[in-house]
Amino acid sequence: MKYREVLEGETKLIVPEKGGITKDEEVFYNPHMRLNRDITVLLVKHYEPRDYLDVMTASGARGIRVAKEAGVHATLNDLNPKALQAARKNAEINDVKVSTTAEDARVILTKSRFDFVDLDPFGPPVEYVDAATSCVRNNGVLGVCATDTSALSGSYPTACLRKYDAHPLRCDCYNEIGLRILLGFIARTFTRHDMGATPVYSHSTRHYMRCQMQVNRKTKKTLKSMGWLQYCVKCMWRDYRRLDELAQTCGCGAKLKTAGPLWQGEYADRTVCESIMEKAEDEELRKFIGSVCSEQDITKPYYDLHKICRLAKTSSPKMEELKEKIESEGYLFRRTHFNPTGIRTDMEAKELVDAVKGLSAKRK
């Protein structure tokens, strides 16, 4: 296999010349996951863990960046001998000392303990999360990446139910619901072991969903953040409800759809966001983190403005105009990283439709 050199952050990496982004490649490396790795490095810098485990290291990109840029001892694990060979080579050219192991992911997760553990499998992370609960120390962080977004986002609801024990929903905020299902699955897995977990930074980008959760002993508090989302296809109303609060019909008379169980609280910690934003040197990365941070003021899933306008039977207003309109009526307005035409507001769907109609009437 031929290799080429790339630079991520402060780290030089030798990666497959043809890309290394398919499962059939001898050594896996996905350049589109750089943002994902950038944020991991920033989080490791924030938490300053004693040690870090990259469970499925592949080329070693994530773990070696952690070792070089955050100065934390990293253990790189992979069953693929060629991947470990590439990871060792990358450690050598960056002059960092790392530990390497070649064990099944579930084995190393149950026999060792770390302050920061990273799960980034090729596909769903479901089969590894249970083992990870015994690997992360109390107050440590578990990072989980899921690339089976078609299941989480509702394209394959049966697959989501089978893997995550949750009902997804294909609607305007489908990817946020998918992320919250993933968070809920991880949280519920910890509670089964009399532990709790709280999101410190989560996002959904391109083809993946990424969660980082801090482990704690607050089982009851974790369970209080679990709930169901009810959604009306007719009027686009949506809200979280407890199991005993679920209704059959919306106030408009239409039948409600239900997604969950899922995480209904904040999916990022604002203090953590502000800390890693200060550490980020790239302006675009700072903007991205800032967007995720600002979204935590409103936990209700976002609205797609284009679909709101379709419901209102009018053209789309300028975002700044809509922001001024919503805030002038005493409501919050935020953009969202999930969708360039998505908005977050504590305004109800009917009021939002009326606001859009009002702006449209002014333009005429």
32-60 tens-digit pLDDT: 889 999 999 999 999 999 999 999 999 99
pTM of the complete model:
0.95
- Could you tell me the domains of the chain? 3-295 (3.40.50.150), 303-363 (3.30.56.70)
CA–CA distance, 87 with 296 (Å, rounded to integer): 37
CA–CA distance, 342 with 296 (Å, rounded to integer): 14
**Given a cut of 50, is residue 264 above it in pLDDT?**
yes
CA–CA distance, 199 with 43 (Å, rounded to integer): 12
**Given a cut of 60, is residue 21 above it in pLDDT?**
no
> Quick one: pLDDT band at residue 123, thresholds 50, 70, 90?
confident
Q: What is the pLDDT of residue 18?
A: 66
CA–CA distance, 141 with 346 (Å, rounded to integer): 31
pLDDT tens digits, 233-262: 999 999 999 999 999 999 999 999 999 999
Question: Taking the CA atoms of the chain, what radius of gyration do you get in angstroms?
Answer: 22
pLDDT tens digits, 174-217: 999 999 999 999 999 999 999 999 999 999 998 899 999 999 99
Q: Mean pLDDT for the chain?
A: 95
Q: What is the pLDDT of residue 24?
A: 55
Closest CA to 68 of 97, 46, 89: 97
- The SS3 call for residue 86 is helix
Strand partners, 208: 205
> Quick one: pLDDT band at residue 25, thresholds 50, 70, 90?
low
> Quick one: pLDDT band at residue 363, thresholds 50, 70, 90?
confident
Q: What is the pLDDT of residue 26?
A: 72
Helices (H), 215-262: 219-224
> Quick one: pLDDT band at residue 285, thresholds 50, 70, 90?
very high
Give 71's contacts (C-beta < 8 A, 6+ positions apart).
none
Residue 353 backbone zone (phi > 0: left; psi -120 to 50: alpha; other: beta): alpha
Mean pLDDT (whole number) for 84-97: 96
Proportion of the chain above pLDDT 90, given as a percent? 91
DSSP string computed for 274-325: HHHHHH---HHHHHHHHHHHHHTT--SPPEEHHHHHHHHTSPPPPHHHHHHH
**Given a cut of 80, is residue 19 above it in pLDDT?**
no
Mean pLDDT (whole number) for 104-116: 97
> Quick one: pLDDT band at residue 20, thresholds 50, 70, 90?
very low
DSSP 50: S
Euclidean distance between the first and final Cα of the chain, in Å?
Answer: 63
Is the previous residue joined to 340 through a cis bond, with omega within 30 degrees of 0?
Answer: no
> Quick one: pLDDT band at residue 63, thresholds 50, 70, 90?
very high
> Quick one: pLDDT band at residue 79, thresholds 50, 70, 90?
very high
